[in-house]
Amino acid sequence: MTTSIVRLENAESGSGVEMALYRLMKLPAGDFLFRRSPRETRPELTALIYAHQNSAPLYSLRALEDEQALDFDAAEKDWKTWAEKADDKVAANLDLADFYDRRLKPQDELVALEAVGSAAASPRERWTAAESERSWQAWERTLTIVDRYALPRAIAQREYAGWERRYRLEHPFTNANLHSIWRARILRRHPH
């Protein structure tokens, strides 16, 4: 998973997130915080979401709790909301793709990765080599998914074409290498 998700261990002391996730238990050695079950945390996180205007990161946290509670429909809804509302939409779409990877839903994972792959490079990636950009790596991952699930050649060609479109103008020198490498790969793995 990417670092865009609110992490449990980074909950600020005394915050609403900490109170939603942890319960204070009095023990003989002193007071300790214990992790609440998803059954308890989900309603608390929902209340926090409604109480705060800038609640986008809370959707990712609630989505994780939904997954732990095995409520995958609610988790998918929260991951999608996170992808829509996040400041860093590329990272949030990578989180959504990771969810679909865990759920073994390659078609949905491809859609999330296409959103990442089509996005322009962030200002932080200004001096980053094309092969290290998040969008490039998302396109690489799409073809890995096509191979892993033995998806039809038409899907492989669609993913390759999207990758080529995204990098045609920005990095023409890489495009020639990309073209030969991935065309050979697609034709070798998907002869029909």
pLDDT, tens digit, 9 for 90 and up, residues 49-88? 988 877 888 999 999 999 999 999 999 999 999 999 999 9
Largest CA distance in the chain: 69
pTM greater than 0.75: yes
pLDDT, tens digit, 9 for 90 and up, residues 120-175? 888 888 888 877 889 989 998 998 999 899 999 899 889 988 888 888 766 554 55
Percent of the chain at pLDDT > 90 equals: 41
Confidence of residue 90 (pLDDT cuts 50, 70, 90): very high
Identity at 69, one-letter amino acid code: A
What pLDDT is stored for residue 72 in this prediction?
97
